[in-house]
Amino acid sequence: MRKLIKMRLKRKGQEEIGGFAVIIVLVGIIFLLFLGFVLVKGPKEATEDYQIRGFVQSLLHITTLCEQNGENISVQELIRECQKEADCTYGLEACAVLNSTISDILEESWNVGNAEEFPIQGYQLNITSYGEKMVLLKKGAITSKQYKGSGQTLPNEVEIYFNVYYD
């Protein structure tokens, strides 16, 4: 009788270990499937709309090298000075400083390259005043395939459009 009880307990223990092993295998398969779906999703898009809007907003508040009344002015104020065809302190043209400042900021902020290297293929920034071009800066492949952009309207009919192109 004791021998029979020992055999039943031994079999019951083996069954429990077998059930535990099946559970482990199932959890592993589910984990691998989940991991596969996550990895196959593909590359994330280069930018989101809010990032581009935020960039345009930030750009307007950056302090430039142009001085007016002893203080360095922001890009937004520099756009107004450029509209007036004014000069900065030290005889620099406001429009030249505006172009240079924005060009440097774009170069440092947006990496453009091939699809394997960088997701962003190109960008274009356009600032107009009363429908006339003030600043037009482009880099990379400007295509109509896929892009995201943002615009900003300032007083005195100044419009800023920034588009980022990606593949």
Q: Are residues 108 and 139 in the same domain?
A: yes
Task: Count the domains in the chain.
Answer: 2
Q: Are residues 55 and 35 in the same domain?
A: no
Distance CA 158, CA 145 (A): 27
Residue holding tokens 């419009």? 159
Name the residue range of residue 2's domain.
Answer: 1-42
Residues 6+ apart with CB under 8 A from 148: 45, 46, 47, 48, 49, 52, 163, 164, 166
Q: Are residues 98 and 149 in the same domain?
A: yes
Q: Are residues 62 and 134 in the same domain?
A: yes
pLDDT tens digits in sequence order for the chain, 167 residues long = 566 555 555 566 566 777 777 788 888 888 777 777 666 654 444 456 788 899 999 999 999 999 888 899 999 999 999 999 999 888 889 999 999 999 999 999 888 876 666 778 889 999 999 889 999 999 988 876 788 888 889 988 899 999 998 87
Q: Are residues 53 and 38 in the same domain?
A: no
